[in-house]
């Protein structure tokens, strides 16, 4: 039987509107290195045989030339052009996968992902077909009813905050992405759910933050300096 590869599709094809910087946030520096360099290196460090498909914005493909040679294993990285939405960027990355694999799909702007979480996701995906990291909510939560102009408290124990790497057997995630794009696809779990797969949640990590707004950069810098 063909051995199962480990492949990470790292999506960094966005433009970072909410960050409001002069370049896409994945290229901003964190502790002196581009965010995307931290993220890719985290996967290279976690798994000896990892192959990385790095999805970048078309207009910034050249930025890869500055980053790749600085990684510990530059040879294991393939650069792919991103799409109009995160879904399309993931789809472009998945189109590169032919062999049986455990496929990690990870936000390029979650640079603090740990080796422990990557391994936990891999083990659960091998057992359940998919592994989706999730953390508990820590604030009170209210649902809005705009038409009635009211809001109501909900039980936060019934909700989880979802992270990446969302991890799958290739035979599940590759065919799932043949579906037509739908605006409700905010992550990969929503895509496999539509094809009838049960989503398997695993414990995520509080520190595995997504750098979305300027404050997140400050938090990430602090977490990195105190780790
Ligand atoms: N067309 C897109 C949009 C997003 N992403 C990636 O998906 C991850 C999570 O998306 P998000 O944080 O929303 O990034 P942006 O789309 O860049 O941010 P914004 O929504 O603020 O513009 C990021 O690593 C981003 O680069 C992508 O690969 N291709
Ligand atoms: C995939 C994700 O990071 C899981 O929390 C999230 O859905 C991405 O959302 P965004 O609006 O594209 O940042």
Per-residue pLDDT tens over the stretch 43-55? 999 999 999 999 9
Q: Which residues line ligand 2 (CB under 6 A)?
A: 86, 107, 162-164, 186-187, 210
Q: Which CATH architecture has domain 5-133+161-225?
A: Alpha-Beta Complex (3.90)
Q: What is the pTM of this model?
A: 0.97
User: What is the number of the ligand closest to the CA of 213?
Assistant: 1
The pLDDT of residue 65? 85
Residues of the chain falling short of pLDDT 70: 1
Cβ–ligand 1 contact at 165 (below 6 Å): no
Integer Cα distance of 95 and 93 in angstroms: 5
Integer Cα distance of 186 and 109 in angstroms: 15
Going from the Cα of 86 to the center of ligand 2, the distance in angstroms, rounded, reads: 8
Going from the Cα of 167 to the center of ligand 2, the distance in angstroms, rounded, reads: 15
Query: Domain map of the chain by residue range?
Result: 5-133+161-225
Indicate the top mutation candidate among 181, 187, 204, 212 to test ligand 2's pocket, ranked by most ligand atoms within 8 A of CB. 187
Residue nearest to ligand 1 atom 9, measured at CA:
107
The pLDDT of residue 11? 98
Would you say how long the chain is, in residues? 227
User: What is the number of the ligand closest to the CA of 191?
Assistant: 2
Q: 141: how many CB neighbours lie within 10 A of its CB?
A: 12
**Structure ipTM:** 0.98
The pLDDT of residue 3? 86
Residue nearest to ligand 2 atom 9, measured at CA:
186
User: What is the number of the ligand closest to the CA of 185?
Assistant: 2
């Amino acid at each position: 039987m063909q051995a199962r590869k480990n492949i990470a599709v790292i999506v960094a094809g966005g433009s970072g509107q909410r960050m409001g910087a002069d370049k896409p946030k994945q290229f901003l520096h964190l502790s002196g290195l581009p965010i995307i360099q931290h993220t890719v290196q985290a996967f290279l460090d976690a798994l000896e045989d990892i192959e990385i498909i790095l999805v970048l914005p078309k207009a910034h493909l050249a930025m890869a030339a500055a980053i790749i040679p600085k990684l510990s294993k530059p040879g294991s990285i393939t650069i792919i052009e991103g799409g109009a939405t995160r879904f399309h960027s993931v789809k472009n990355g998945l189109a590169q996968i032919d062999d049986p694999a455990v496929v990690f799909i990870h936000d390029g702007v979650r640079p603090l992902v740990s080796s422990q979480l990557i391994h936990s996701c891999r083990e659960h995906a091998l057992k359940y077909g998919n592994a989706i990291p999730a953390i508990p909510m820590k604030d009170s939560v209210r649902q809005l009813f705009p038409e009635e102009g009211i809001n109501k408290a909900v039980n936060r124990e019934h909700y989880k905050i979802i992270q990446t790497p969302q991890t799958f057997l290739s035979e599940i995630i590759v065919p799932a992405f043949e579906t037509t794009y739908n605006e409700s696809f905010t992550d990969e779990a929503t895509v496999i759910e539509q094809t009838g797969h049960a989503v398997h949640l695993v414990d995520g990590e509080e520190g595995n933050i997504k750098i979305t707004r300027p404050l997140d950069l400050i938090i990430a810098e602090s977490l990195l300096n105190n780790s």
